[in-house]
């Protein structure tokens, strides 16, 4: 997938939009934007939407996206979406193979607690192989089929590293796209939650629907700061607009 995006916006400015309140500073000054999760409502023609949520297809912020936005999802979410697979027969065939595997291997299933939604996390050899071979989605949408934890950050990345937030993955996509500079809006890492806490963060620029809140843990911030440092050291500024708990971005405050 990254090969299709490489240098797509060479030497242009790209904004990456998160869902924290400072995203309100975004005013479409950059050449393109990549909106993450709930920030998708701020996107316009030719912008990109990205989510690393395994069940993004269920989320209101995905189902309500403008039609003209190019979407990038993980395959576990993409196969359920008519945006990606408008042909019912094709879509249902993919779902059948995937869900049949989960039925046979409940020990591999990750459950979204309280939501009755299940998925298989990356790293399962059978599922990863299945998703690497599924047919291409409807244009212009893209599937992030393969991800990594060890890929070096560079313009020539073949895989996206996960372990941070969806914004961290979107940042890597912006870099591969050839951005001259990358501007972060609404990426504050201001929803810290202990892993076992029933509380979910509530620091959003909108009122999230029930079951659609999340968290930004300290380990995710560390991964994001690492990626930012690598990109800056390679000569591309990464600029935070408004307050943030990131330490390595170039911070602009009003």
Q: Give me the pLDDT at residue 61, please.
A: 95
Domain that includes residue 82, residue range: 2-252
Residues 236, 181: contact at Cβ < 8 Å?
yes
3-state secondary structure of 87: coil
* Number of residues that make up the chain: 254
Note the pTM of the prediction, 2 decimals.
Answer: 0.92
- Indicate the range of 99-108, 140-149, 190-199, 208-217 predicted with least confidence: 190-199
Measured between its terminal Cα atoms, the distance across the chain in Å is: 37
pLDDT of residue 216 exceeding 50, the answer is: yes
pLDDT given for residue 196 in this prediction: 54
Instruction: Count Cα atoms within 13 angstroms, Cβ side, for 25.
Output: 22
Give the pLDDT mean for 85-102: 96
pLDDT single digits (tens) 159-197: 999 888 999 999 999 999 999 999 999 999 987 655 555
Round the average pLDDT of the chain to a whole number and report it: 91
pLDDT at 198 over 60: no
Q: What local confidence, expressed as pLDDT, does residue 117 receive?
A: 77
Q: What is the pLDDT of residue 199?
A: 46
What is the number of domains present in the chain?
1
Q: What percent of the chain has pLDDT over 70?
A: 93
Q: What is the pLDDT of residue 210?
A: 81
Strand locations in 62-150 (E): 70-73, 109-112, 117-120, 142-143, 147-148
């Amino acid at each position: 997938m990254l090969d299709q995006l490489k240098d797509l916006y060479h030497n242009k400015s790209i904004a990456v939009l998160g869902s924290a309140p400072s995203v309100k500073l975004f005013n479409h000054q950059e050449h393109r934007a990549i909106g993450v999760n709930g920030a998708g409502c701020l996107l316009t023609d030719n912008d990109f939407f990205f989510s690393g949520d395994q069940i993004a297809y269920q989320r209101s912020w995905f189902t309500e996206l403008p039609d003209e936005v190019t979407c990038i999802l993980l395959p576990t979410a993409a196969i359920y979406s008519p945006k990606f697979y408008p042909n019912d027969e094709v879509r249902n065939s993919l779902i059948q193979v995937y869900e049949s595997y989960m039925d046979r291997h409940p020990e591999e299933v990750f459950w979204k607690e309280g939501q009755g939604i299940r998925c298989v996390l990356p790293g399962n050899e059978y599922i990863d192989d299945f998703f690497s071979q599924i047919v291409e989605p409807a244009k212009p949408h893209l599937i992030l089929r393969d991800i990594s934890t060890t890929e070096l950050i560079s313009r020539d990345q073949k895989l996206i590293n996960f372990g941070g937030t969806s914004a961290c993955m979107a940042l890597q996509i912006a870099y591969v796209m050839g951005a001259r500079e990358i501007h972060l809006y609404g990426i504050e890492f201001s929803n810290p939650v202990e892993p076992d806490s029933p509380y979910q963060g509530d620091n959003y620029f909108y009122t999230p629907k029930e079951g659609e809140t999340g968290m930004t843990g300290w380990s995710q911030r560390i991964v994001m700061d690492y990626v930012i440092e690598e990109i800056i050291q390679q000569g591309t500024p990464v600029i935070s607009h408004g307050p943030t708990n990131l330490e390595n971005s170039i911070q602009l405050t009003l």
